[in-house]
Structure 1
Amino acid sequence: MRLSEFIRQHADHIVEEWEQFARTISPAADTMDQAALRDHAKAILLAAARDMDTTQTAREQIAKAKGEGPEKTPSLDEAGASHGELRHAVGFDLVQMTSEFRHLRACVIRLWANSLETPDMAYFQDMIRFNEAIDEALAESTAAYAEQVNRSRDIFLAILGHDLRAPLQAVSMSTELLMRKTALEGDALSCALSIKQGARHMAAMVSDLLELVRSRLGKSLPIEPAPMDLADAARAAIAEACAGNPQSDPTLIIEGDTRGVWDSGRLAQLLQNLIGNALQYGTHPRDLIVTLKGEGDVVSLTVHNHGEPISEEAIGTIFDPLVRSSNEELGQASTSLGLGLFIVKEVVTAHGGTIEVSSSEAEGTLFSVMLPRQA
C-alpha cells in the first residue's frame, strides 16, 4: 500500500499514538484533555497525504528539500502554524513541540514499514515525500511558535516600560520639589543631584525600550513634523549633555540654513543619543564636534569624536537593537540598554533621511546624518 493511502486509512491509529506521546510531556500536558493533546495532528497527516499525491518533478523535489519549493501546501502550513501557536499557549517549550513531529515521523514510518510485504522503489519515494511534508509542517509550526514567543516578550516589555514611567516620574518630581523647598548643601545636595540625574537616565532608557517594542510589534516610529531650526535643537542637546557631563565642552559648527520641517522631539532624541554616545566612548570629552550644514533641500548633521575606533564587524551591527559596545566590560555600570543608536536609525528613517558611520584610529569616529528639509 502506498504511504499516502496508508496514512488516510490509519490516521486515527497514528493520532492515538501522537496523543499518547504528547501526554508524556510534563508539566504542560498534565491538565490537557484529549482534544487539546491531539490538536491538529489529523489535519497535518491528511494534508501531508494530499501533498504526497501531487506530482513533483526531480527539480521541484531538490528545491523543496532546500526549503525553496515553488509552492507550499496551504492546508499543511495552516495546520502546522496553528499547532505551533496553540502549543505555545498551553506551555510547551520549543523542544517539546518539535519532539512531537519527530515522534509522528517515526510512528508513521514504523507502522507503514511493518505493513509492507515486498519492497518497491516507489515506496522509498513515498517516504521522501512524507518527510518533506512533515518538514514543511514543522517549519511552519516552529515559525509560528517563535513568533508567539517574540510577541509575548515584546508585550511584556511594553507593559514593563509603561508601568515604570509612573514611579520614575514620582522620583523625579519629588527630587525636584525637595531641591526647591529645601536649602540642601554638601552631601545632601550631591545625593539629590545624583537621584535627579539617575532618574533622567532611567527615563531615557524606558523611552528607548518602548520605541524598540513599538518597532518589533510592526509599528513605525510616529513623527509629527513642524517647522523648526535644527541649530536650536543642537544647542539644547549640547546644554543637556553638559549638565550631565560638566567636564564636556562640545563644539557646535553651523553653516548655511539649518531650518526644516521635522519632529522636534524625535530630533532631540537623535541628538541626545549621538552626543551621549560620543561622550561615553570618546577619549577626550572636550574634543566632541557637532557640525550642521544646510545645502539645498538637505541639511547634514555630523558628530565627531576621538577614541578607540569601531571595528568593521561592529559597524555592521552598530544600529541593531540591544547591541552593546565591545569596549564595555561585563557587569560595568551603564546608562544604556544598547538601544540609543537603534533609536537614532529609526528617527532618521522616519524622516526619510540616511545615516552612515566611519571610524579609524587616525580620523576618529564620525556619524553622518542627511535629512531632507521636508520630512
Structure 2
Amino acid sequence: MRLSDFIRHHADRIVDEWEQFAKTITPAADHMDSIALRDHAREILLAAARDMDTAQTASEQKAKARGEGPEKTPSLDEAGASHGELRHTVGFDLVQMTSEFRHLRACVIRRWVESMETPDQAYLQDMIRFNEAIDEALAESTAAYAEQLNRSRDIFLAILGHDLRAPLQAVSMSTELLMRKTTLEGPALTCALNIKQGARHMAAMVNDLLELVRSRLGKSLPIEPRPMDLADTVRAAIAEASAGNPECDPTLNIEGDTRGVWDSGRLDQLLQNLIGNALQHGSDPRAVFIRLRGEIDSVHLSVHNYGPPIPEEAIGTIFDPLVRSADEELGQPSTSLGLGLFIVKEVVTAHGGRIEVSSSADAGTLFSVVLPRKT
C-alpha cells in the first residue's frame, strides 16, 4: 500500500498514538482533554497525504528542500500554523511542540514499514515526500509558535513599560514637593536628589523600552479573578493619580453594590489609564468625574472629563494599539505612546465586559465600562 493511502486508511490509529504521546508532555498536558491533545493531528496527516499525491518535478523538490518551493499545500500550512499557535497558548515550550512532529513521523514510518511485504523503489519516494510534508508542517508550526511567543513578550514589555510611568511620576512629583516644602540639608538632601535623579533615569529607560516594542504588540491579557470591591480599587487609583499630579482632584460618586470577582491588579491598570487619559486630555485636572454604579449582574464604571472632543473619525480606532491623538501627531508635548486605551480595552475584554466612548464639545468625553460581577 502506498504511503498516502496508508495514512488515510490508518489516520485514526496514528492520531490515537499522537494523543498518547502528547499526554506525556507535562505539566502543559495535565489539564488538556482528548480534543485538545489531538489538536490538528488528523488535518496535518491528511494534508500530508494530499501533498504526496500531487505531482512534483525534480526542480520543485530541490526548491522545497531549501524552503523555497511554492505553497502547494495551504491546508497543511494552515493546520501546522494553527497547531503552533494553540500549543503556545496551552503552555507547550518549543522543544515539546516540535517533539510531537518527531514522534508523528516515527510512528507513521514504523507502522507503514511493518505493513510492507515487498517494498519497491516507489516506496522510497513516498517516504521522501512524507518527510517533506511533515517538515513543511513543522516549519509552519514553529514559525507560528515563535510569532505568538514574540507577541506575548512584546505586549508584556509594552504594558510593563507603560504602567511603570505612573508610579515613577508619583515618585518624582513627591520628591519635588518634599524638596520645595521642606528644608533638607546634608545626607537628607543628597538622598532626595538621588531619588529624583534615579526616577529620571528610570523614566528614560522605560521610554526606550516602549520604543523597542512600539510596533510589535500582541493580544489578550491573562487575569486572576478574585472577590474584591471595585470601590476600594478606584479610591486607591485616585490617590495614586493625585500623588503624581497635585492639581488632580477627581469627583467620585458610588451607588449600589460594587463588589465582584475580578483581577484587582488589572482593574487598577484600567483605572490608572482612564484617569490619566482624562487628566492629559481634559481642560481642567479638577474636573474629572468618576462614577460607580452597581446593577444586579454587573457594575458600571464611567470616567468623564471636559476638553477638546475626540474627532468622530478617531472613535473607531481609539482602542487600537499605538494610536495617538491628533495633537500628539502634530508634535504637542505628550508622554503617550498610544498604549493606555489599548490596555483598557484588553482588561475589559479579558473580564468579559464591554467599553464605550462618547465625545462632544458640549458634553465632554465619557468612557463607560460594564463589568459582569463574575468573569
TM-score, shorter chain, exceeding 0.5 = yes
8 Å contact from structure 2 (residues 158, 217) kept in 1: no
Cα distance between partner residues in 1 of 2:135 and 2:40: 15
For the 8 Å contact 1:214–1:221, the answer to whether it is kept is: no
Note if 1:17 corresponds to 2:5: no
Equivalents in 2 of 1:6, 1:190: separation in Å? 78
Map of 1:41 onto structure 2:
41
**Does the residue aligned with 2:26 lie in a helix, a strand or coil?**
coil
Distance 1:195 1:157 in 2: 24
Paired residue for 2:217?
Answer: 217
Q: Does 1:112 align with 2:112?
A: yes
Aligned residue in 1 for 2:193: 193
Q: Percent identity?
A: 82
Distance in 2 separating the partners of 1:111 and 1:221? 55
| Cα distance in 2 for residues equivalent to 1:223 and 1:64 | 47
CA deviations over 1:10-53 (Å, ceiling 9, x no partner): 00010001001111111111111110100000000000000000
TM-score (norm 1): 0.59
Q: Is the 8 A contact 1:84 1:145 kept in 2?
A: yes
Alignment of 1:279-318 (within 5 A): none
Equivalent residue number for residue 230 of structure 2? none
| Structure 1 residue 194: Cα displacement | 1.3
Distance 1:72 1:221 in 2: 38
Distance 2:120 2:56 in 1: 19
Q: Is structure 2 residue 120 aligned with structure 1 residue 146?
A: no
Question: Deviation of residue 120 (structure 1)?
Answer: 0.9
What does residue 169 of structure 2 align with?
169
CA contact (8 A) 1:215 1:221 kept: no
For 1:133, the aligned partner's letter is A
Shift, 1:216, TM fit? 2.4
Instruction: Give deviations 1:234-276, integer Å, cap 9, x for gaps.
Output: xxxxxxxxxxxxxxxxxxxxxxxxxxx984759xxxxxxxxxx
Say whether the 8 Å CA contact 2:155–2:216 is kept in structure 1. no
Contact 1:43–1:79 (CA under 8 A) maintained in structure 2:
yes
- AA matched with 2:24: T
Distance 2:210 2:20 in 1: 43
- Which has the larger displacement, 51-60 or 207-216? 207-216
Q: Secondary structure at the match of 1:119?
A: coil
Quote the RMSD (CA, aligned, Å): 2.2
Equivalent residue number for residue 254 of structure 1 = none
AA of the residue aligned to 1:119: P
- 1:163 deviation in Å? 2.1
CA distance in 2, matches of 1:79, 1:71: 14
The correspondence of residues 352-371 of structure 1 with structure 2, limited to 5 A, is none
Aligned residues: 233
Post-superposition offset of 1:223:
9.8
Task: State the distance in 1 between where 2:176 and 2:38 align.
Answer: 60
Q: Distance in 1 between matches of 2:179 and 2:197?
A: 13
Using the alignment, how far apart are the partners of 1:40 and 1:187 within structure 2?
65
Residues 168, 220 of structure 1: CA spacing in aligned structure 2 closer, same or farther, 3 A cutoff? closer
Question: 2:210 and 2:184 mapped to 1: Cα distance?
Answer: 35
Displacement of 1:129: 0.4
Aligned to 2:337: none
- Equivalent position amino acid for 1:20 in 2: Q
Q: 5+ residue gaps in structure 1?
A: 227-260, 267-375
SS at match of 1:111: helix
Partner of 1:75: 75
Secondary structure of residue in 2 paired with 1:158? helix
CA contact under 8 A between 1:211 and 1:221: conserved in structure 2?
A: no
Deviation string 1:114-152 (CA, Å, 9 cap, x unpaired) is 111112111000000000000000000011111111111
Q: Does the alignment pair 1:184 with 2:218?
A: no
Check whether the contact 2:157–2:209 (CA below 8 A) recurs between aligned residues.
yes
Are the equivalent residues in 2 in contact too, given 1:47–1:75 (CA < 8 A)? yes
Matched to 1:172, the amino acid is: S
Q: Which amino acid aligns with 2:89?
A: A
1:5 equivalent to 2:5? Answer yes
Once residues 172 and 220 of structure 1 are traced to their aligned partners in structure 2, the CA distance between those partners, rounded to angstroms, is 26
> How far 1:190 sits from its partner (Å)?
1.7
Q: Within 2, Cα distance between the matches of 1:196 and 1:102?
A: 55
User: In the alignment, what sits opposite 2:61?
Assistant: 61
Partner residue, 1:206: 206
Aligned residue type for 1:112: W
Partners of 1:264 and 1:33 in 2: how far apart?
53
Task: Give the deviation of 1:88 after TM superposition.
Answer: 0.8
Name the structure 2 match of 1:92: 92
The corresponding residue for 1:28 is: 28
- What is aligned with 1:51? 51
Deviations 1:38-90 (A, max 9, x none): 00000000000000000000000011001011234110000000101111111
Structure 1 position 222, deviation (Å): 6.5
Once residues 70 and 63 of structure 1 are traced to their aligned partners in structure 2, the CA distance between those partners, rounded to angstroms, is: 8
Q: Identify if the C-alpha distance between structure 1 residues 223 and 57 changes in structure 2 by more than 3 Å, giving closer, same or farther.
A: farther
Q: Which moved more, 1:217-226 or 1:141-150?
A: 217-226
Report the AA paired with residue 212 of structure 1: L
